[in-house]
Amino acid sequence: MKYYLGIDNGTSGTIALVDGDGVVSFFMETPVKIEQSYTKTKKNISRIDVVKLMEILSTYKDLDILAVIERPLVNPKMFVTTMSAMRALEATLCVLEHLKIGVRYEDSKAWQKDMLPSGVKGSPELKKASMDIAVRLFPKWEDIIKKHGDGDALLIAEWSRRNKR
């Protein structure tokens, strides 16, 4: 059976695994760790906890999994956010490559067009719609969806399953 690993990229993202029948194996916030920034400025940064991510995903390594990752934000005007997204992507890719899990990238607009109501615009509205739809489709995961504030990874995985992508 085919499995779809939906990944809402980033240190504040989520990860979900949905099988070919639409059954969710897991939905969770991306494991992260906070540490001192690599810059001279005294501040903390969030990083993907690759050890925890590897432990979680290695449980499923023998399954036929396709990871579908939401394409990260890349905008030179938003340098700090872009760098965080790219660091998170690279860490996630290293884990997926090590586990020999295939990867596909998708733009948020592609899955949102099919999974969210038309006319929803702006980040707050998109997050609310994502949360509401994910709760409706996956009520067993309501607590985690509401705690996180959206169900993007679930919807990415489900969209991929429905479209065999």
Q: β-pairing, 14-19 with 2-7?
A: antiparallel
Give the structural domain span for 53.
2-163
Total domains in the chain come to: 1
Residue-wise pLDDT tens digits, 26-42: 999 999 998 887 777 78
| Residue 98 CB contacts under 8 Å (≥ 6 apart), including other chains | 54
Residue-wise pLDDT tens digits, 62-114: 999 999 999 987 888 888 788 888 999 999 999 999 999 999 999 999 999 99
pLDDT for residue 75: 82
Write out the H or E segment, with its range, that includes residue 7. Answer: strand 2-7
Confirm if 7 and 156 have CB atoms less than 8 A apart: yes
Cα distances (Å, whole numbers) of residue 111 to 26, 48, 95, 96, 143: 20, 24, 24, 21, 23
State mean pLDDT over 112-137. 93
147: domain CATH number is: 3.30.420.10
pTM of the model: 0.92
- Average pLDDT over the chain reads 93
Radius of gyration of the CA atoms of the chain, in A? 16
